[in-house]
Structure 1
């Protein structure tokens, strides 16, 4: 079954991170990604640009409305994601717990809808 592991992190706190800590985290991400590629769990994954680059789209009464930035104001922002293949939720949770940002933010694990 496929699961989307959404990485939420506070952008302001991340921006305050010193260069050495940031470099170490990027190295940890590289090792983590390589491990799930090698195990066969990896399907896709990307880091996202900051929320300052986001545009939110809504359609109301047939008209498109756009707003700069994310729609929801939250303490943590969606920073990236992994799409993984795991045998069950417990396996997906175990993979999510290994994501480096789980130590400073949160990882939302959601199953992908299967159409029959």
Structure 2
């Protein structure tokens, strides 16, 4: 039997009244939540400060940040969330491609007038938007920059 869910999607119910997702072990429940892309945006001033640091200074700063990230990863594990993510390289190494009049224009970048730059992302499957918000609130980047939450299309 299929039961309609919010957003027009359906979830199959089993003979005991629960959804199949509810009955499966957590590690096998793929596809039961909503996938969100969390864009981790760093404050431009922090990036500029980082770029001026020596290698030892960068290492010391990372060492100070590691416990905050470990706390986040511990919480993610406790919640049983499926989360993937990566940190992006220095924005100075980025390139922007634009096609104008059939010609590719390659420029260094991104150098838009902005207070924040994308520094990484998480792709997380959460039970709902509230859980995605709770995850975003725990990301260390949110303390100085921001975390933008975007649901993936077509779910």
Q: TM-score, normalised by structure 1?
A: 0.83
Whole-Å separation in 2 of the counterparts to 1:77 and 1:100: 15
Structure 2 portions without partners, runs of 5+: 1-33
> SS where residue 110 of structure 1 aligns?
strand
Determine if the alignment matches structure 1 residue 7 to structure 2 residue 47.
no
Question: Residue deviations 1:50-72, cap 9 Å, x none?
Answer: 11010011111221111111152
Match of 1:65 in 2: 105
**Unpaired runs of at least 5, structure 1:** none
RMSD between superposed Cα atoms in Å: 2.2
CA distance in structure 2 between the aligned counterparts of 1:61 and 1:37, rounded to whole angstroms? 49
Contact 1:3 1:83 in 2 (8 A): yes
TM-score using structure 2 length: 0.64
Q: Is the 8 A contact 1:58 1:65 kept in 2?
A: yes
Instruction: Supply the distance in 1 between the matched residues of 2:112 and 2:154 (Cα, whole angstroms).
Output: 27
Number of equivalent positions: 115
1:88 matched to 2:128? The reply is yes
